């Protein structure tokens, strides 16, 4: 009997110790007592201390989707194409012109209550008629306000008031891993919403519209989504869906959007100036890598190296130097070409930006007032040929006979010191082409130089005075 009593006492004491330990641990690990609520006859705790990272199922897309759907439209592009039958003209001696209607489809985003709509330039390019269908199936005729082929952005307008619209967000604040919605009209369907995360920023697709600064997502985007909205969970427009990488034309896991900061600046320029105003920094540059970082005695391999500072440029005026490594613009981290290009495209001549560089191991900051190299706000009047190459003129009979060539432009007076000092290009050398395009006139050269300003570089095909053929890279920035 005594042993039984002792066993009961020991068991009770052990239970108390266990309960006390549990209460002590619970008190240490729980900031507040559990509250509960009755759900289907069961008491469910409501204030468990979960990790502060939000689970995907707690992200509510319903409100954002509802608001975005009514601000995304279907864009119908109607163009008239003319075809000719040369055989009918040759054999029967009569005109054989035949006209037919060609229809293209895409999406657009209403960005103001008075009916301004952003879409891709390739959605409405060469259109003779543009028709807009709202999510409520109402149809309107739209007029083209302006377009920028380099950024693949077009601005159109319908004559309607009090329209639902999507406000612009700051694409610089978009983070990898952030949830986004893609809203558009794939396969000619009515407005469709898909969800995904931001997979990467500053993507350079290599030859895709020269944008070179895409936001990459895994939200499903297919044919017809072009020109649609990429929206964050706050309902802000952070991009215009533009491209997919696919062998069959369908979605394969990744899609690409033009950042909203570039879009916003582009359409503001189109409204105010009628053309896009391009800001120039006035440098030649390369991406930092292991070899270059070792040569410059820096630990990081992220950043843009300034390889040359051009006279009369914004960088020169601000005090930037060769071998400075650009690591930030306005507190936005710059790790590669796409980051730098994206920042410059969202700015215009006259704006002042803060550029952070590493110079000889020290971090320095410079306030740089952007402009084109001649300091004019009207970039459309900028002489690319004179600045980046020099004075040129069409070749004469002597050169045609001597080198057995048909076309080209002779350099009379070279103005680009890099072409002269680094690549040995001199007066008297002949420009035969640029980026695989044959050059016949100064106007053609000017056009291709201007077109190449959003690329990392263009390639000049040059015939030297001694008959040697050379291919010279030149950066237009």
User: Taking a C-beta distance cutoff of 8 angstroms, is the pair 77, 39 a contact?
Assistant: no
Q: Say what the pLDDT of residue 28 is.
A: 42
Q: Is 122 one of the catalytic residues?
A: yes
Q: Say what the pLDDT of residue 372 is.
A: 63
DSSP classification of residue 164: -
Domain 67-157 fold is: Thrombin, subunit H (2.40.10)
Q: Is the domain 383-474 a CATH 2.30.30.90 member?
A: no
Which one of 152, 324, 429, 454 is the catalytic residue?
Answer: 152
**Domain range list for the chain:** 67-157, 171-272, 283-369, 383-474
User: Taking a C-beta distance cutoff of 8 angstroms, is the pair 44, 57 a contact?
Assistant: no
Q: Is 152 one of the catalytic residues?
A: yes
d(C-alpha 131, C-alpha 75), whole Å:
6
Alpha helices in 41-167 (DSSP H): 62-69, 86-92, 121-124
Q: Do 67-157 and 171-272 show the same overall fold?
A: yes
Identify the CATH assignment for 171-272 out of 3.40.1190.20, 2.40.10.10, 3.40.50.2300, 3.30.360.10. Answer: 2.40.10.10
Which one of 68, 226, 346, 356 is the catalytic residue?
Answer: 226
Domain 283-369 fold is: Pdz3 Domain (2.30.42)
d(C-alpha 256, C-alpha 329), whole Å:
23
Which one of 74, 107, 122, 429 is the catalytic residue?
Answer: 122
Q: Say what the pLDDT of residue 458 is.
A: 83
Query: For residue 128, is it left (φ>0), alpha (ψ between -120 and 50) or beta?
Result: alpha
- Spell 252-291 as b/e; 16+ CB within 10 A means b: eebbbbbbbbbbbbbbebbeeeeebbbbbbbbbbebbeee
Q: Is 79 one of the catalytic residues?
A: no
Let me know if 227 is exposed, middle or buried by CB neighbors in 10 A (0-12, 13-18, 19+). buried
Query: Tens of pLDDT along the chain (477 residues)?
Result: 444 445 444 455 555 545 454 444 444 444 444 454 554 454 444 444 444 444 444 567 898 999 899 999 999 988 776 666 665 555 555 656 666 677 888 999 999 999 999 999 999 988 889 999 999 889 999 999 999 888 889 999 999 999 999 999 999 999 999 999 999 988 776 788 999 999 999 887 654 445 568 999 988 888 778 899 999 999 999 999 987 655 455 556 688 999 999 999 999 988 888 888 888 888 888 888 898 888 888 888 899 999 888 877 899 999 999 999 999 999 899 998 888 988 988 898 889 999 999 999 899 999 999 976 444 434 445 677 877 888 899 998 888 888 889 889 999 988 777 788 778 888 999 999 998 888 888 888 888 887 776 565 788 999 988 888 888 888 665
Reference 225, options 182, 165, 164; nearest CA is: 182
Q: Say what the pLDDT of residue 421 is.
A: 75
**What are residue 110's DSSP bridge partners?**
117
Structure tokens at 423: 């690549």
């Amino acid at each position: 009997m005594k042993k039984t009593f002792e066993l009961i006492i020991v068991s009770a004491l052990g239970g108390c110790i266990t309960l006390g330990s549990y209460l002590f641990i619970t008190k240490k690990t729980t900031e507040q007592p559990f509250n509960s609520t009755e759900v289907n006859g069961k008491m469910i705790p409501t204030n468990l201390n979960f990790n502060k990272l939000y689970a995907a199922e707690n992200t509510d897309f319903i409100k954002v989707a509802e608001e975005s759907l009514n601000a995304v439209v279907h864009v119908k592009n109607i163009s008239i194409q003319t075809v000719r039958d040369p055989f009918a003209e040759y054999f029967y001696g009569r005109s054989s012109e035949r006209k037919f209607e060609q229809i293209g489809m895409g999406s657009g985003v209403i960005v103001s209550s008075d009916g301004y709509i952003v879409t891709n330039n390739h959605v409405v390019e060469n259109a003779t008629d543009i028709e807009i269908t709202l999510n409520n199936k109402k149809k309107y005729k739209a007029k083209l306000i302006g377009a920028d082929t380099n950024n693949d952005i077009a601005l159109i307008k319908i004559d309607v008031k009090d329209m639902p619209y999507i406000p612009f967000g700051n694409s610089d604040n978009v983070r990898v891993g952030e949830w986004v919605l893609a809203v558009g009209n794939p396969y000619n369907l009515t407005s469709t919403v898909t969800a995904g995360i931001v997979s990467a920023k500053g993507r350079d697709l290599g030859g895709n519209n020269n944008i070179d600064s895409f936001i990459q997502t895994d939200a499903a985007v297919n044919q017809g989504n072009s020109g649609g909205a990429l929206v964050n969970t706050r309902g802000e427009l952070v991009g215009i869906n533009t491209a997919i990488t696919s062998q069959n034309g369908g979605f394969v896991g990744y899609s690409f959007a033009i950042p909203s900061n570039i879009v916003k600046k582009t359409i503001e320029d189109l409204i105010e100036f009628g053309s896009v105003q391009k800001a120039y920094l006035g440098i030649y540059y390369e991406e930092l890598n292991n070899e270059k970082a070792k040569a410059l005695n820096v630990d990081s391999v992220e950043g843009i190296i300034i390889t040359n500072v051009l006279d009369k440029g914004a960088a020169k005026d601000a005090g930037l130097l060769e071998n400075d490594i650009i690591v930030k613009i306005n507190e936005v981290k710059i790790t590669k070409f796409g980051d730098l290009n994206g920042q410059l495209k969202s700015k215009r001549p006259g704006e002042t930006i803060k550029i952070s560089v590493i110079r000889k191991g020290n971090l320095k900051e410079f306030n740089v007032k952007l402009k084109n190299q001649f300091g004019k706000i009207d970039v459309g009047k900028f002489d690319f040929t004179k600045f980046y190459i020099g004075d040129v003129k069409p070749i004469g009979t002597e050169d045609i006979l001597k080198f057995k060539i048909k076309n080209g432009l002779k350099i009379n007076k070279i103005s680009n010191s890099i072409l002269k000092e680094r690549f040995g290009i001199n007066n008297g050398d002949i420009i035969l082409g640029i980026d695989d395009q044959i050059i016949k006139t100064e106007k053609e050269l000017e056009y291709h130089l201007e077109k190449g300003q959003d690329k990392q570089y263009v390639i000049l095909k040059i015939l030297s005075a001694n008959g040697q053929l050379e291919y010279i890279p030149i950066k237009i920035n």
